[in-house]
Amino acid sequence: MEKKITQYFQRITDLIEILRDEKVFIQVHDFPDPDAVASAFGLQAFFAHFGVSSRIVYETEIQRSALLKMITDLTIEIAAIRDFRMRPNDKIILVDGCKGNANVTDLIGDEIGVIDHHRSESPEDVEFSDIRPEYGACASIIASYFFEFDVPVPKDIATAFMIGIATDTQMLLRGASDKDLEAYYRCHGIADTRYVATILRNNIGMADLRYYHYLIGNLKYRGHVGFCHFPHGCDQNLMGILANFTLSVEEIDFAVLCAGNENGVCFSLRSENPALNAAKIIRSLVKGIGFGGGHQDMAGGIIPNPSDFDETACLDKIVSLTGAEG
């Protein structure tokens, strides 16, 4: 049944007015990362300042030990959606993801708002949409709400914001806008910067080293493009870390990593070549058999049916799309 909307809201505070007497859930994308969790944590505090209580929820799982440590140390109350009985009329605000994305599970509640920094069409069936693809991190958008309405940023929120921004922009070196720099700088004077450094430095564990070993031994190099397939799986957040690592190789300026996981064949792309748009390439790569999107320099995708994936054909198509040498 098509949702009927009688009023669209331009400002986050206008949306807040109708949330006061509602049961509100803040949903992050599946397999959440530090930026998604920091954004939801900040939005929850912003809502609370205006008298709106909310719960942060996610589908699937939280995979990285550093993120779990951040959640514990900063006392971030986030839980799997299976722990709640959501009703159709409960209100959902999506952060760091958009309706229809492959990594956003459609929950039973009423999606009333979307706050995201990934390039996508503004959804027509939500009352509030704040999509800013020029931002490198969603946490910077949430931080801007605090600044715009003169709401004090608590120390734990500022700490989370810094971690989220640094993670999604690779320490402000990838896709960071002036607004990301402003948010990072303003939070720097409030946050526990020693703790921020600890989380950012310690983002892999001993068990992850075998994936680095596999990547080093199985990386295929075509011109300026690096490609590696993990046939036995690799968690999505770790693939992003490994893709960044691949770009640290001097001869490589475009990295494509993929892994067969429970939900299909997942991709993580990274680009430092202005001529190669990672978001456009992943959409072309999985066209007709999957979904993909992201930014110029960072993107992801999925092929739900593993039988639609062939490693050799995939590499050949990447070579064609990027103009790399065969």
DSSP assignment letter at 31: S
Q: Please report whether residue 294 resides in a domain.
A: yes
Give yes or no: residues 190 and 221 share one domain. Answer: no
Token readout for 94 is 């999506």
- 160/137 Cα distance (integer angstroms): 12
Residues 195 and 217 in one domain: no
Residue 1 forms part of a structural domain: no
Whole-number Å distance between alpha carbons of 200 and 205: 13
Q: Are the C-beta atoms of 268 and 284 separated by less than 8 Å? A: no
4 within some domain: no
129 and 247, same domain (yes or no): no
Task: Going residue by residue through the chain, which has 326 residues, state the pLDDT in tens, using 9 for 90 and above.
Answer: 567 787 899 999 999 999 999 999 999 999 999 999 999 999 999 999 999 999 999 998 898 999 999 999 999 999 999 999 999 999 999 999 987 777 899 999 999 999 999 877 667 689 999 999 999 999 999 999 999 999 999 999 999 999 999 999 999 999 999 999 999 999 999 999 999 999 999 989 999 999 999 999 999 999 999 999 999 999 989 999 999 999 999 999 999 999 998 889 999 999 999 999 999 999 999 999 999 988 999 999 999 999 999 999 999 999 999 998 64
93: its two tokens: 């605000």
> Does residue 269 fall inside a structural domain?
yes
Residue 91 gets the label, from left (phi > 0), alpha (psi -120 to 50) or beta, of beta
Do both 190 and 257 map to the same domain?
no
Same domain, yes or no, for 227 and 278? yes
Q: How far is CA 158 from CA 42, 77, 164, in A?
A: 8, 16, 10
Q: Point out the domain boundary residue: 201, 227, 260.
A: 201
Instruction: Return d(Cα 31, Cα 52) in angstroms, integer.
Output: 26
Distance CA 130, CA 219 (A): 39
Amino acid at 146: F
Are 232 and 286 in the same domain? yes
Helix (H) or strand (E) holding 321, with range, is: helix 311-322
If asked whether residues 24 and 159 sit together in one domain, one would say yes
Q: Quick check: is 5 in a domain?
A: no
Task: Return the axis-axis angle of helices 138-148 and 155-168, rounded to nearest 10°.
Answer: 140
What CATH number is attached to the domain comprising 302?
Answer: 3.10.310.40
Residues 57 and 112 in one domain: yes
Q: What is the CATH number of the domain that holds 167?
A: 3.90.1640.10
Look up the domain containing 242 and give its range: 207-322
Q: Is residue 93 domain-shared with residue 188, that is, in the same domain?
A: yes
pLDDT at 5: 85
d(CA 262, CA 298): 23
Of 167, 201, 235, the position where a domain reaches its end is 201
Same domain, 220 and 181: no
Q: Which of 174, 201, 228 is the last residue of a domain?
A: 201
Q: What pLDDT score was predicted for residue 1?
A: 52
Q: Is the same domain home to 121 and 174?
A: yes
Number of domains within the chain: 2
Please answer whether residues 292 and 299 qualify as being in contact, where contact means their C-beta atoms are separated by less than 8 angstroms.
Answer: yes
Beta bridge partners of 222: 225
Strand blocks (E) in the chain: 24-28, 54-58, 78-80, 91-95, 110-116, 128-131, 220-222, 225-230, 254-261, 264-271, 291-294, 298-303
Same domain (yes/no): 191, 62:
yes
Q: Let me know if residue 7 belongs to a domain.
A: no
Q: Is residue 271 part of a domain?
A: yes
- Structural contact between residues 41 and 142, judged by C-beta atoms closer than 8 angstroms: no
Residue 291 within any structural domain of the chain: yes
